[in-house]
């Protein structure tokens, strides 16, 4: 049971016991019950207000942390995108170099073949 529920239960049990065992008059007992109930309401109200304030602070903190994570996540994604683009550019340059080497080797072989055919 939570703190507020325990408190309310305690107030009710205390009030019942006070009614049953009180040496006071009915008017005095009712006045004491009113004061106790008012005190209980104040405590419940202040605990409720404190809980509401704490909840509001927690929601604000969660929102701030979410924004931070979103920003960091965006930065990480952008960095990874840049890394990928650089890797693609490196791969394109390597492919172009390999293509040039293959074409040069092909030309050299073709020329060697043509030279051999001309000599025969």
Per-domain boundaries in the chain? 3-119
CB 38 within 8 A of CB 52: no
What are the pLDDT digits (tens) for 23-66?
777 787 778 778 888 887 787 777 778 888 888 899 898 889 88
Amino acid 1: pLDDT: 58
Q: Above 80 in pLDDT, residue 81?
A: yes
Q: Quick one: residue 25, left, alpha or beta (phi over 0 = left, psi -120 to 50 = alpha)?
A: beta
Amino acid 10: pLDDT: 83
Mean pLDDT, residues 62-86: 87
User: What predicted TM-score, i.e. pTM, was given to this entire model?
Assistant: 0.42
Cβ contacts of 48 within 8 Å, gap of 6 or more: 4
């Amino acid at each position: 049971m939570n703190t507020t529920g325990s408190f309310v239960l305690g107030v009710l049990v205390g009030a019942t016991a006070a009614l049953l065992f009180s040496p006071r008059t009915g008017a005095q007992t009712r006045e004491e019950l009113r004061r106790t109930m008012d005190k209980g309401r104040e405590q419940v109200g202040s605990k409720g207000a404190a809980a509401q304030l704490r909840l509001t602070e927690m929601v604000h903190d969660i929102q701030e942390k979410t924004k931070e994570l979103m920003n960091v996540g965006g930065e990480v994604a952008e960095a990874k995108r840049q890394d990928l683009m650089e890797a693609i550019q490196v791969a394109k340059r390597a492919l172009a170099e390999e293509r040039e080497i293959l074409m040069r080797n092909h030309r050299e072989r073709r020329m060697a073949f043509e030279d051999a055919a001309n000599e025969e």
